Structure 1
């Protein structure tokens, strides 16, 4: 394949994948997908290798989709017909909790499968206790959908649709979002066939092989360009005043193999509350952290992910075993990059950033409006991003997830919620040679006379984001109900007179104030 052909085909493939993802996002019913982009969309080759991802999406969803897509393709090998659509939300196969539903559809050409298109989207509701950490068993957290066919030879699985509708609080929203996923996958298949027609291709096998091998080779070369060695680091944080968690890491850069090994032996054991992380999700954010530091310009696919090896003991909080509760897995999972960044500072100090608050603060507000209609909305409140060596951290930016904040106007349209305040929390970022980004303040209430439920999650309430190379930590988060400090991790019953205030942590600073860095040495 000539360089010109490769560039032409690759550009076409990336464009159509991103285009279909945008269509899916704009067709979605739930604001968390439509406005915040809490999703993933990717194309796989016939062997189950993720070739290209869409430009939008979160690392947790995208890299979990890479694993889940391959599993589904292998499981249903020889049992897939044209018009089939596969589905699952198994936390240990997919993105770590029941809310994330994966859809995968084959692409046929001249009677044979040449590719698959898939997505993993966060859904508005999945039944059970909702997105809280109250469950002590995964079965309390909602509807489980094992790997199966949602559509078979073009015919929807009516029984499965009835089961889904009967188990969720907002069935029209959930089924509408499934329709967006299905239609984007099927229309994406049409687009791939049109691409093959334009270029006279029988399939995408040669293109896939070339892209994946080049991506792997380039990733290994980037790793070999770093100093070899092994470094240990530890990240400690508290979910509540009496629940402490630590993530222990030994990071090894192996120049001979061109690999990075991430060993989380020694990390905290899984808990009996719903903050446990499945291996897929922990690996997703671990590989993201390494790739974004060492080779951010490379395509994110099976090839570029292959040289990054992840391990954590079974039964640990970042490799939990069934039936551990996992609904709020993001609260712990988004801390996984923090010890990686700390360790990589020893090898590539100019490419890392100081710590932020990990997971953004989140809130799920649900209940019945005054007309008796059920509402259920989910939104994030970003903290500040940690500073970089030569640049300050960004304000109110969700690192490492990248999910956007939902406009308050959209949330107020979809539920009887009123936002009293949304503003930057000035001065909350840590000081240093480069200061950390500021967090924000969000205050809201519900205008319905009926009782409503709040499930909130806030990080950095007890442990501030750590500074890098002498930088100062960011300010702690605060969670208040009616002006008084409250515990956010559990579902709470609320009334019309209650006001909720979330103040997110600022990102940490990088370098001592008096420290100077040589700009010429920066990559």
Structure 2
């Protein structure tokens, strides 16, 4: 396939997945999807290899979705699929790591022939159980577990499954509405892919996907071959709710001859009794993102570019969760996975990495009844701290590397839920000093307009351990979590009073260079 033809077809594929993502966001009910973009969309060939992804989304969803398609199809007989079928699961070990993230996979047919799949993963408003937070003691306390099933069969909805989901969630309208958005986005991808085949006289996309994936893998291997062979080590430590301190250690081995990288997490903290354990697919998602964004950021993110990066996970490890470990707040640890990898890569490509940042986004969920007595459950909303500095640029403020999820605007939250914000501003001076300073965190205060007690789930981290600087740069400031002016460390689901005020000051990022 010549370069001009390939570029034209590739641009068409990117247009398809981008339209798929835009449709999902436009149709979605919940602010976390519609406003914050906590989602992933991907297009797969008939062998379930991810060929293209939408630029909107988070690495934890996108790279997990690449594995989810293979995992889902491994549970069924592909020969039994027919036009109008839609597959669904939220199995943490098959998809994005906790029950809130539901993956929908729609087979794409050209006539009666299966030519690919459209997939999406989004964070749903509610899935029953404990809610957002790390307080569950095992996975069965965390909500509704949906195995691999058909949400639609030959275009007919699975009414039994819809009723099960409806009866096991606190906000069924939002959950079912967002599921409808996922199904609709898959239909759009199917229509557009068939239109592409019509336009260019293709029977399927097998030759196109082979070319794209082969070129992506070759380019990734070439970028790895430019590194000095060897094993490089890095580690990071951070505190999580309940006073735990977690340590992640990595040994990054560069095989320059084969063009492969292996990341070994031996020596990292063991499993946690709280819901911050991370399933392998989610660990792999953020590990591969750290490598790709450092070595080859312009490369398409697909099955080819992911193939040369491998993980070695110890059997008993917080980033290798085993059933029935609670995993509800897996992002609290998972979003720190890139930092020890970047510290290792700093020994071989120091000008391409970033210093440690604030780590995981601080997530919040509020539940209760409004002033009129109507029940509400918010979808998760997030607040970022400062990003670590780069070799040639300061760290960005209130931007949380490595996730790509945005903050929901306070105006949207106040219009959607009985919440009133008392402040939202940058916390100046919280970024670490250095030749390039780290990004600043932010100050967010709020109270509820309920007139009655309400429930708060929140998961701050880095309130005692600061983000380290790199190459002589200074550490960022730790965060603060306060209720009515008093510091709180145990943040399991709390009953709050109507006049209680919450204050969150997110951590700053580390500086780069002395």
Asked if Structure 1 and Structure 2 have the same fold, meaning a TM-score greater than 0.5 normalized by the shorter chain, the answer is: yes
SS class of match (1:214): helix
TM-score, L = length of structure 2: 0.98
- 1:184-243 per-residue CA deviation (whole Å, 9 max, x = no partner) reads 001210110011111111111110000000000000000011121111222112214641
Alignment match, 2:172: 171
Structure 1 residue 71 displacement after superposition: 1.4
Alignment match, 2:45: 45
Alignment match, 2:19: 19
Describe how 1:280-359 pairs up with structure 2 within 5 A: 280-359=281-360
Q: 1:322 to 1:107 in 2, by over 3 A?
A: same
Describe how 1:115-134 pairs up with structure 2 within 5 A: 115-134=116-135
Describe how 1:71-90 pairs up with structure 2 within 5 A: 71-76=71-76, 77-90=78-91
Asked whether the 8 Å contact 1:473–1:507 carries over to 2, the reply is yes
| Match 1:447 to one of 449, 454, 475 | 449
- 1:129-175 per-residue CA deviation (whole Å, 9 max, x = no partner) reads 10111111100000000011000110000000000010111100000
SS class of match (2:74): helix
Asked whether the 8 Å contact 1:458–1:488 carries over to 2, the reply is no
| Match 1:492 to one of 479, 491, 494 | 494
SS class of match (1:14): helix
Describe how 1:148-187 pairs up with structure 2 within 5 A: 148-187=149-188
SS class of match (2:234): strand
Structure 1 residue 444 displacement after superposition: 0.3
The 2-side partners of 1:368 and 1:303 are apart by: 49
Asked whether the 8 Å contact 1:170–1:374 carries over to 2, the reply is no
SS class of match (1:262): strand
Asked whether the 8 Å contact 1:453–1:493 carries over to 2, the reply is yes
Alignment match, 1:35: 35
TM-score, L = length of structure 1: 0.97
Alignment match, 2:427: 425
- 1:338-360 per-residue CA deviation (whole Å, 9 max, x = no partner) reads 10010000010000000011101
Describe how 1:395-414 pairs up with structure 2 within 5 A: 395-414=397-416
Aligned length: 512
Alignment match, 1:384: 386
The 2-side partners of 1:244 and 1:301 are apart by: 34
Alignment match, 2:475: 473
Asked whether the 8 Å contact 2:242–2:490 carries over to 1, the reply is no
- Cα-Cα RMSD: 0.9
SS class of match (2:79): coil
| Match 2:418 to one of 416, 419, 438 | 416
- 1:98-118 per-residue CA deviation (whole Å, 9 max, x = no partner) reads 000000001100211001000
Alignment match, 2:238: 237
Alignment match, 1:64: 64
Of 483-492 and 502-511, more deviation after overlay is shown by 483-492
Asked whether the 8 Å contact 1:247–1:266 carries over to 2, the reply is yes
Describe how 1:82-121 pairs up with structure 2 within 5 A: 82-121=83-122
Structure 1 residue 4 displacement after superposition: 1.4
Structure 1 residue 488 displacement after superposition: 5.1
The 1-side partners of 2:452 and 2:46 are apart by: 52
Structure 1 residue 372 displacement after superposition: 2.6
Alignment match, 1:519: none
Instruction: Give the unaligned 5+ runs of structure 1.
Output: 513-523
Structure 1 residue 374 displacement after superposition: 2.1
SS class of match (2:36): coil
The 1-side partners of 2:442 and 2:166 are apart by: 37
Asked whether the 8 Å contact 1:48–1:74 carries over to 2, the reply is no
